[in-house]
């Protein structure tokens, strides 16, 4: 994709430093090279050069690097000028570069955006570059590098390949009459469904076990009214963020709080208590809580432990059943609150694959155990082959997988091939948004505007 503007930016940090680097990319880069260097340097070679002003006097000496299109990061002609890192020299050089027609300052992330638009990298890799720059730990660096090398994209591309083959099988059959269709057609469809299902499950598994989500982990607190949800938010965030009363229905909307639990950043969301209510506002609050569950990483389901064990079982089982129809991969932990009123032990118990943690949000007993447990879940991930994922990717996989399950259900019920073709095309578009093969300009702008200038 040819862009008419040539872009330029200082890629090193502004301010005094030993070296300052300016990058120029676009169709007029040759003109910039001739204007500043008097010639086009040898491709991919470090050339010691004089940087000239309009009177051909020397502005600075430095290294010039020339990467002709399409063998450059952006896929366009790129010139890099490495001069002395004086803000004054950098400023004079930039002015000189920008005096070339149709050359302007690059917007944040615009070099990455051009690399993406020219098919040099996919969207996951472009985001990995930004993640790499913003990494704060060694494992974040490794995970970003893995994503940049295409480790995550590989799984998505394979999924798309299988999906496209399925679509070809389906679309080609639409043009034939029933008699002409291969008698094994149902088997072919079943086979394709099976293959796609396996690939979706594999991706969900690696997202759960091997991905570091760059944004804060989203932990949602839900449960019946008066179980102690707001008290739990308050004690985790160490201040009285939510109003606590013994009046059911006090929290009606979502309350978000960003907290740091032993060095691990998370967003905790307190919600309206789940129960049958006629109160219009409470109803909206409960619906919002269910909507938010879809995009959360972890649910803390709070139960008042002073109610009978049978009631606890009933509430937890009903919740598990319902939540699985919303979000299949979300982690669920049951928090048995108000343990201070009982003589039971504090701590974690595992019952049928679920963890139950006894605490008191009033006295703070068991809270340290809960915090350590939350951090442990994050740290338990297999360290080798970790990659970085953004919430956008996780959400898009969830969305496309639930569409896939719906498509399968509809197929089994109606055996309607046109409907199946439509659904597969929608799933293709949803997955395509992850790598950027189907992406609106609006989404691209949102993604690249968060990058830094010069990237
Ligand atoms: P929510 O409706 O689930 O958000 O519940 P709240 O946090 O508002 O608490 C409901 C009532 O239970 C309040 O009166 C709290 O003081 C009380 N409460 C909350 N946690 C505990 C606890 O661990 N022990 C005891 N004894 N009372 C609690």
Q: Within 13 Å of residue 124, how many CA atoms lie on the same side as its CB?
A: 30
| Domain endpoint, select from 379, 413, 439 | 379
- Nearest-CA residue for ligand 1 atom 26 is 338
Is there a single domain that holds both residue 357 and residue 394? no
2-16: burial string, b at 16+ Cβ within 10 Å, e else = ebeebbbbbbbeeee
- Residue 363 CA, closest ligand 1 atom number: 23
**What is the distance in A from the centroid of ligand 1 to the CA of 337?**
8
DSSP symbols for 94-130: HHHHHTSTTEEEPPTTHHHHHHHHTTSS-HHHHHHHH
CATH number at residue 97: 3.30.1360.120
Residue 91: inside a domain: yes
**What is the distance in A from the centroid of ligand 1 to the CA of 225?**
9
Residue 162: inside a domain: yes
- C-beta of 231 in contact with ligand 1 (< 6 A): yes
Is there a single domain that holds both residue 332 and residue 427? no
Is there a single domain that holds both residue 366 and residue 416? no
pLDDT at residue number 327: 66
| Domain endpoint, select from 349, 379, 409 | 379
pLDDT at residue number 284: 82
E strand segments, 327-453 = 331-337, 347-351, 354-358, 387-389
pLDDT at residue number 279: 78
Domain count, the chain: 3
CATH number at residue 324: 3.40.50.300
| Domain endpoint, select from 106, 140, 159 | 106
Is there a single domain that holds both residue 187 and residue 224? no
Known binding-site residues for K(+) equal 226, 245, 247, 250
* Helix (H) or strand (E) segment spanning residue 88: helix 87-98
Cα 304 to Cα 312: distance, rounded to the nearest angstrom: 8
Per-residue pLDDT of the chain (455 residues; tens, 9 = 90+): 667 899 999 999 888 889 999 999 999 999 999 999 999 999 999 999 999 998 999 999 999 999 999 999 999 999 999 999 999 999 999 999 999 999 999 988 899 999 998 989 988 888 888 888 777 666 677 778 888 888 888 888 899 999 988 988 887 776 665 555 555 778 889 999 999 999 999 888 888 777 776 667 889 999 998 999 999 998 988 766 666 666 665 666 778 888 878 767 788 898 887 777 777 777 787 788 888 888 888 899 999 999 999 999 999 999 898 888 766 678 899 999 999 999 889 989 998 889 999 999 999 999 999 999 988 876 666 556 677 777 788 888 888 999 999 999 999 999 988 899 999 999 999 998 888 876 666 666 766 777 766 67
> What range defines the domain where residue 315 resides?
217-379
The total number of residues written for the chain in this structure: 455
Known binding-site residues equal 23, 80, 120, 226-231, 245-251, 270-273, 455
- Residue 231 CA, closest ligand 1 atom number: 7
**What is the distance in A from the centroid of ligand 1 to the CA of 226?**
6
Is there a single domain that holds both residue 155 and residue 193? yes
pTM here is 0.61
Q: Within 13 Å of residue 396, how many CA atoms lie on the same side as its CB?
A: 21
| Strand order from edge to edge, sheet including 47-52 | 47-52, 58-67, 78-85, 17-25, 6-10, 103-105
**Per-residue pLDDT tens digits for 9-26:** 999 988 888 999 999 999
Which of 361, 363, 366, 369 best tests ligand 1's pocket when mutated (most atoms within 8 Å of CB)? Answer: 361
Is there a single domain that holds both residue 305 and residue 443? no
Residue 182: inside a domain: yes
Known binding-site residues for (6S)-5-formyl-5,6,7,8-tetrahydrofolate equal 23, 80, 120, 455
pLDDT at residue number 137: 66
Angle between helices 151-174 and 138-148 (to 10 degrees): 40
- Residue 248 CA, closest ligand 1 atom number: 2
**What is the distance in A from the centroid of ligand 1 to the CA of 374?**
21
Q: Within 13 Å of residue 224, how many CA atoms lie on the same side as its CB?
A: 16
- C-beta of 273 in contact with ligand 1 (< 6 A): yes
Is there a single domain that holds both residue 179 and residue 287? no
- C-beta of 358 in contact with ligand 1 (< 6 A): no
**Cβ-based burial of 18 (10 A; exposed 0-12, middle 13-18, buried ≥19):** exposed
CATH number at residue 441: 1.20.120.430
Residue 385: inside a domain: no
Beta-bridge partners for 333: 300, 355
pLDDT at residue number 424: 92
pLDDT at residue number 439: 63
Is there a single domain that holds both residue 223 and residue 207? no
pLDDT at residue number 379: 66
Contacts with 6 (C-beta within 8 Å, 6 or more apart), sequence order: 24, 25, 26, 27, 28, 29, 32, 100, 102, 103, 104
- C-beta of 228 in contact with ligand 1 (< 6 A): yes
Is there a single domain that holds both residue 205 and residue 222? no
Is there a single domain that holds both residue 276 and residue 418? no
Cα 258 to Cα 265: distance, rounded to the nearest angstrom: 7
């Amino acid at each position: 994709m040819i862009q008419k503007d040539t872009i330029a930016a200082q890629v090193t940090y502004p301010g005094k430093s030993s070296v300052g680097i300016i990058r120029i990319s676009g169709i007029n880069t040759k003109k910039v090279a001739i204007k500043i260097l008097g010639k086009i340097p040898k491709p991919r070679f470090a050339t010691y050069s004089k940087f000239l002003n309009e009177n051909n006097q020397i502005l600075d000496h430095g290294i010039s690097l020339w990467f002709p299109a399409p063998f450059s990061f952006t896929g366009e002609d790129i010139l890099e000028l490495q001069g002395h890192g004086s803000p004054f020299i950098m400023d004079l050089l930039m002015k000189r570069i920008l005096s070339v027609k149709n050359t302007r300052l690059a917007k944040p992330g615009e070099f990455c955006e051009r690399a993406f638009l020219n098919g040099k990298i996919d969207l996951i890799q472009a985001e990995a570059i930004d993640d790499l720059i913003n990494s704060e730990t060694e494992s974040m660096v490794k995970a970003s590098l893995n994503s940049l090398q295409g480790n995550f994209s590989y799984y998505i591309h394979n999924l798309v390949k299988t999906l496209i083959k399925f679509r070809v099988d389906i679309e080609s059959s639409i043009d034939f009459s029933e008699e002409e269709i291969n008698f094994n057609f149902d088997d072919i469809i079943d086979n394709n469904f099976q293959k796609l299902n396996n690939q979706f499950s594999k991706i969900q598994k690696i997202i759960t076990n091997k991905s570091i989500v760059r944004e804060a982990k989203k932990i949602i607190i839900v449960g019946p009214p008066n179980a102690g949800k707001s008290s739990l938010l308050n004690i985790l965030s160490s201040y009285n963020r939510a109003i606590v009363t013994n009046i059911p229905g006090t929290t009606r909307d979502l309350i978000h709080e960003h907290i740091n639990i032993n060095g691990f950043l998370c967003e905790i969301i307190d919600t309206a208590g789940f129960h049958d209510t006629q109160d219009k506002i409470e109803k909206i609050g409960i619906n919002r809580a269910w909507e938010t569950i879809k995009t959360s990483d972890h649910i803390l389901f709070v139960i008042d432990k002073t109610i009978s064990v049978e009631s606890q079982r009933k509430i937890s089982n009903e919740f598990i059943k319902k939540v699985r129809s919303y979000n299949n991969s979300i982690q669920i932990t049951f928090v048995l609150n108000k343990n201070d009123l009982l003589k039971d032990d504090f701590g974690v118990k595992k019952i049928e694959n679920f963890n139950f943690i006894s605490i008191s949000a009033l006295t703070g007993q068991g809270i340290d155990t809960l915090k350590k447990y939350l951090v442990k879940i994050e740290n338990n991930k297999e360290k080798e082959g970790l990659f970085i994922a953004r919430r956008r990717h996780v959400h898009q996989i969830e969305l496309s997988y639930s569409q896939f399950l719906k498509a399968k259900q509809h197929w089994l019920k109606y055996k309607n091939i046109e409907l199946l073709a439509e659904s597969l095309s929608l799933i293709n578009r949803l997955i395509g948004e992850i790598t950027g093969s189907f992406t609106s300009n609006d989404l691209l702008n949102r993604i690249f505007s968060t990058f830094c200038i010069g990237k």
